Structure 1
């Protein structure tokens, strides 16, 4: 199966249109009109800004297209923290502000195989530490406990998937793509989109598994099978896709909130399969919060309990309502979203090659959603 985050890292800034579209479907709450989000472009000097992090009045960005991690400066300029960072995709600053950490992955552009991956932890005025998630994955392979594909496929089903180049019956394999990172207490949590797991990484570079995300099963209908060009014998088969975590945030309740972008064709053919999970870091317990997202690449936790999700393939930011996605703001190319302490949102969009358009960082004023979209964490 094509692994979407691996595709994002390889394609860099060549995937999305850059158009700011007015918000859709503003609703009212208790008779009062909902505030209209007001996107303002703060930088258009980016390519593939896969992640943002907010610390006090500073904005950090990891740009996989430019291979850099940096600060948003005056006039939209990006002041580098580090350059020549292949596949830079996640960035976070420690709670005390003394360190910054970012993820990188070296990917073969032809095969999408990851040769190197990990977390860099830089102490301002001090040493830099490397945590090698690829080596940890080779040694531990936490998601080997997961089974993917089809259990006991018939010969017709096995032949059909083999002909289409789909793995059809396998356990979690060795693969690391350290994609996103969040500061957690005196350490870091990495969402590894290749290992399908969350790792705790210490400031000394030590790694341990916090949680393995569950397989994402889909029962293939006749329409899905026809759209994929597979034979009729595949209809009715349940295929367990890999979970592919793409972002992690720390909730006020101490749980970790994670977006999943399931492996396989990322289109409406198989439905909107992206989801949000919450993970108890104390014991690895995993609970589903919401589903129905089309390309869930990032999330933000608002100051009033909101959950915002960047839906890359739908070109919008959505919120959670009654366990499902609810469109909030159309923003083509949106790949990242963060919430500031004042309630505003910041988002990032991918650049595009045809027609040429840069990646951006956008501030969305009055980014609060109403209580109807708030979940109890």
Structure 2
């Protein structure tokens, strides 16, 4: 079998963003869980620097405080310059028909801004995923097509997901999407960052891979992210109405990489929101460190819930948005702690000594700066 291709099943990330918006009751039960710790650390008042946004799932900010915001639910890329009126740099209303995830992967370097456009069919499967770039002069050009690469290479095709080790009789009792399947052909370039040599790194949420696009547009796989997994308990089986024959078996999940950033050590850091349908089970989101040269991957933190984005300071401190816990979490010297409580934090960036966070993304989205 394969991953369910129903629209509901495929809306792994955006279903949580725009529909559920809550933490599963059984979340926070594995890994470096920090849900029991009190919110602490940041005690100031965030300052709103952009508001009335439609689904600001990804954005970037320059050292001078200029914001480039992808308004995913209306397919608009907007520039916010301090002291000036907002300017829409790109708009495509057709992207609003893709389930709220049409314009993502926003990043800026040297005045040029990069973003991703994902278009899907009626079943929710991608048929076009273009990476585009707007030059300083305003010219817009396609730089790569990650779906075309996925069709040819499908980096996670060797991975098996689903509930493993079941008998044929037990398998026959499973609803669609839970039986074992191998990595399917799908793409959603959710997060991007630009390296010092001009390469664009892409966290492809549905390809389950970290990709590199060089300056000539050639795509290669840096790494396939590790699967997430947990052992099914009686309580979990009962919560989904599953036959007791699944108890004690492992459920393996697609990792769902959502963002990528470059650390001061030159390594790539990636957040994951594992594909889990229905939206229940333990908190299995993580942060991984990946070598851009070898693809060697090491887990930095786990037990995160809805880790949609990360930002790294010059000293190596990592901030992660935990969407389903309504907070920003701090990772410093291997210690994971809650940092700031916010409503629906979906994206985070660090620039000019400040942390910027996109919040309230299912209603009137805004970006706040921590002074």
Tell me if both proteins adopt one fold, taking TM over 0.5 as the criterion. Answer: yes
SS at match of 2:264: coil
State the partner residue of 1:360.
366
State the partner residue of 1:144.
157
State the partner residue of 1:89.
104
1:133-172 equivalences in 2 (<5 Å): 133-161=146-174, 164-172=175-183
1:105-144 equivalences in 2 (<5 Å): 105-108=118-121, 111-125=123-137, 126=139, 128-144=141-157
SS at match of 2:324: coil
Native 8 Å contact 1:43 1:76 kept in 2: no
Query: 2:191 & 2:127 partners in 1: Cα distance?
Result: 18
State the partner residue of 1:348.
358
SS at match of 1:313: helix
1:36-115 equivalences in 2 (<5 Å): 36-57=43-64, 58-74=66-82, 78-84=86-92, 86=95, 87-94=102-109, 97-108=110-121, 111-115=123-127
Residue deviations 1:33-72 (CA, integer Å, cap 9, x gap):
x551321122222011011212221111111112111212
Query: 2:84 & 2:258 partners in 1: Cα distance?
Result: 26
Matched, 1:174 2:185: yes
SS at match of 2:338: strand
TM-score, normalisation: structure 2: 0.84
Query: 1:46 & 1:136 partners in 2: Cα distance?
Result: 32
Native 8 Å contact 1:289 1:323 kept in 2: yes
Going from structure 1 to structure 2, the CA distance change for 1:226 and 1:14 (only over 3 Å counts) comes to: closer
Native 8 Å contact 2:346 2:361 kept in 1: no
SS at match of 1:89: strand
SS at match of 1:205: coil
Going from structure 1 to structure 2, the CA distance change for 1:321 and 1:235 (only over 3 Å counts) comes to: farther
SS at match of 1:134: helix
Query: 1:292 & 1:139 partners in 2: Cα distance?
Result: 33
Native 8 Å contact 2:39 2:338 kept in 1: no
Query: 1:121 & 1:206 partners in 2: Cα distance?
Result: 15
Structure 2 unaligned residues grouped into runs of 5+: 23-36, 96-101
What root-mean-square deviation, in Å, do the aligned CA atoms of Structure 1 and Structure 2 show? 2.6
* Residue 6 of structure 1, CA deviation: 4.0
SS at match of 1:264: coil
4+ residue runs over 6 A deviation: 2-5
Number of residue equivalences: 342
Going from structure 1 to structure 2, the CA distance change for 1:78 and 1:10 (only over 3 Å counts) comes to: farther
SS at match of 2:325: coil
TM-score, normalisation: structure 1: 0.83
Residue deviations 1:53-98 (CA, integer Å, cap 9, x gap):
122211111111121112123579531221117211111112xx04
Native 8 Å contact 1:129 1:204 kept in 2: no
* Residue 346 of structure 1, CA deviation: 0.4
Query: 2:360 & 2:55 partners in 1: Cα distance?
Result: 5
* Residue 13 of structure 1, CA deviation: 5.8
Matched, 1:212 2:220: no
Query: 2:339 & 2:235 partners in 1: Cα distance?
Result: 29
Going from structure 1 to structure 2, the CA distance change for 1:141 and 1:227 (only over 3 Å counts) comes to: same
